[in-house]
Amino acid sequence: MTDILTRMEDQVAPAHTALLVIDMQNDFCAKGGYIDKTSKLDVAGCEKVADAINVAVDAARAAGVRIFWIRANYEPQYLAAPVKARHASRGIEKEVCCAGTTWGYDFFGVKPRDGEHFVEKHRYDAFHGTALDDMLRNHGIKTLVCTGVVTNVCVESTVRSGFFRGYYIVVPEDCVGAPFPDLHEASLKNIRTYYGAVTDAKSLTGLWAGAKPLRKAS
């Protein structure tokens, strides 16, 4: 990736942009999920985040932007010892986002389509131990539009990892969310200062609406 793209409209051109939807799952977003019941944190804002993501997803599909659905699978056999130790020290016994066996693993408020790209991860960072980087490079992706939850955990971890790998980073602030407003805002400030651009769904989709689709979205 040697192109130096300084303008937002060039960075998010559909031909080389991917929309990442990170961890929009019941355990992280829904009433009765892990964050709500076990961590006792407010997930009410996730519905607005899902609505904004759906706007971005619709615009991405119309413009031919590739969509990557990132989903956590935190079955015990995949967790590192320090994570298990942290859970044990906090008295956390409930399993989180177990593929195929729990409602918590299912998507919340969003509707992926067949033919789009899916990545399952076992760490906060969507690149760690996955084929995401290879998939992106195989499609000539230069820019990552990162959406989802939690802003200061999995979203920021993926943003940092993507930036270190040479991708342009764009985060629509209404398409990410966290149960701690201060940490959410701190992450956005961190991203804006060091890793990429912070925008909103309306501005982003306006750029995509004005771009000529170069291929069928997938």
184: tokens are 């959410």
More confident site: 217 or 114: 114
Decide if pLDDT at 118 tops 80. yes
pLDDT range class, residue 211, cuts 50, 70, 90: confident
pLDDT of residue 172: 98
pLDDT for res 58? 98
Instruction: Given the residues 29, 97, 121, 146, select the one marked as catalytic.
Output: 121
| Inter-helix orientation angle 46-63/201-209, to 10° | 10
Q: Is residue 216 predicted with pLDDT exceeding 90?
A: no
Q: Is 154 a catalytic residue?
A: yes
pTM recorded for the entire structure = 0.93
Q: Is 121 a catalytic residue?
A: yes
Give residue 203's pLDDT. 97
67-83 pLDDT tens trace = 999 999 998 888 888 88
Residue 218 is predicted with a pLDDT of: 46
Q: Which residues pair with 19 in a beta bridge?
A: 67, 145
Mean pLDDT of 86-90: 75
**Between the CA atoms of 43, 106, 78 and 82, what dihedral angle is there, to the nearest 10 degrees?**
0
Provide the percentage of residues in the chain whose pLDDT is more than 70: 94
- 23 counts as catalytic: yes
So what's the pLDDT on residue 202? 97
- For 8-209, CATH number? 3.40.50.850
Does residue 217 have a pLDDT over 70? no
Q: Which of 29, 46, 97, 154 is catalytic?
A: 154
pLDDT digits 0-9 by tens, 141-193 = 999 999 999 999 999 999 999 999 999 999 999 999 999 999 999 999 999 99
24-50 residue pLDDT tens: 999 999 999 999 988 888 999 999 999
Q: Label residue 54 by pLDDT band (50, 70, 90).
A: very high
